[in-house]
Amino acid sequence: MDCFSELNIKSDTSIAIMLEGLRLGFEMWTANPNKLSFFDDRVSISAKKVLNQKLDLSSENDYFLEDFDFFFIRQDPPFDIRYITNCYLLELHRSLNKKPFFINDPSGIKNFTEKIFPLYFSKFMPRTMITSDKERFKKMLEEFRTVVIKPLYCKGGEGIHKVNLNQKSTFEKFKNLIKKYKAPVVVQEFIENIKLGDKRVIFVDGSPMGVVNRIPKSGAFKANLHLGGEAKKTELTSMEKKICSCLGPIFKKNKLFLVGIDLIDQKLTEINVTSPTGIKQIDELYETNLSSGIWEKLNKYIA
């Protein structure tokens, strides 16, 4: 996972899972992704033990990965070559060793990148193109007039722009995204009803366990909570339940234990398999404890 100093301790999902694990009597360690190595058919990692609920840490020591029952891959994007390499190494370890149980499975993370994965379910999505071709981008603009463009491998609203055919800067923004991130760009039909919210649904072991609606602040189109979006209670519509029932078995089949999906106006926009967030907001709104449910389900895998 990322360093504690980079996280909001009060709202971060990784911290919530960690603190609940400690409360339930699990021993917990934390490690930076850069401290992972592969040698002699297994992964080793330099990690610090979490000593208490105040998140005091021990000195750093080296461990073999099979010493642990569970291994959470909770590094935030960008999903870059370093991230992919760690997935390869963890995948290799898993093929040669019985432990640990991965959350999420490194093959699932590697194979189902977050903004491409939803395209397997395009019938549930707004119209979406992935391209670096200016002419194809222009044709989509001419069809929809207003679209959203976003980089493939980032997070938290980074690099996302709402553009329209009449803006002078539209093609410049498109070109700059390709240049900056060195990858094609997601071009997606703009959904006017984003003003009503962007629902985040949390799946645990293939089942939807909680939902929060993130309302953009007035005049904005990004609903990310760290960008000023407001968390509200909500319910899933019959169409959204249908989407969830279609996705859940696919997540479970590919060992994607903890997943967050985004729904705008009853349409699927993203599937987050790297470090889905929203657990703390759901717990606070509904007075639940999703982290406890996560550990309860995980216990079944080592029972």
Instruction: Using 70 as the pLDDT threshold, list the residues of the chain that sit under it.
Output: 303
Q: Give residue 214's pLDDT.
A: 94
> What are the phi and psi torsion angles at 179 (to 5°)?
-65, -45
Q: Give residue 19's pLDDT.
A: 96
Q: Give residue 222's pLDDT.
A: 81
Q: Give residue 44's pLDDT.
A: 97
CA contacts within 13 A on the Cβ side of 195: 4
Q: Look at strands 101-103 and 70-72 and give their pairing.
A: parallel
Contact 279, 291 (CB under 8 A): yes
- Quote the CA–CA distance of 169 and 86 in Å, as a whole number: 37
Q: Give residue 13's pLDDT.
A: 94
What is the set of domains in the chain, with CATH numbers? 4-106 (3.40.50.20), 127-190 (3.30.1490.20), 193-299 (3.30.470.20)
Total H helices, total E strands in the chain: 8, 15
| DSSP string for residues in 122-171 | GGGS--EEEE--HHHHHHHHHHHSEEEEEESS--TTTT-EEEETT-TTHH
| Residue 249 CB partners (closer than 8 Å, separation 6+) | 206
Q: Give residue 9's pLDDT.
A: 87
Q: Give residue 8's pLDDT.
A: 87
Q: Give residue 147's pLDDT.
A: 96
CA contacts within 13 A on the Cβ side of 39: 6
Decide: pTM greater than 0.85.
yes
What pLDDT digit, counting tens, does each position of 16-31 carry?
Answer: 999 999 999 999 999 9
- Quote the CA–CA distance of 290 and 251 in Å, as a whole number: 18
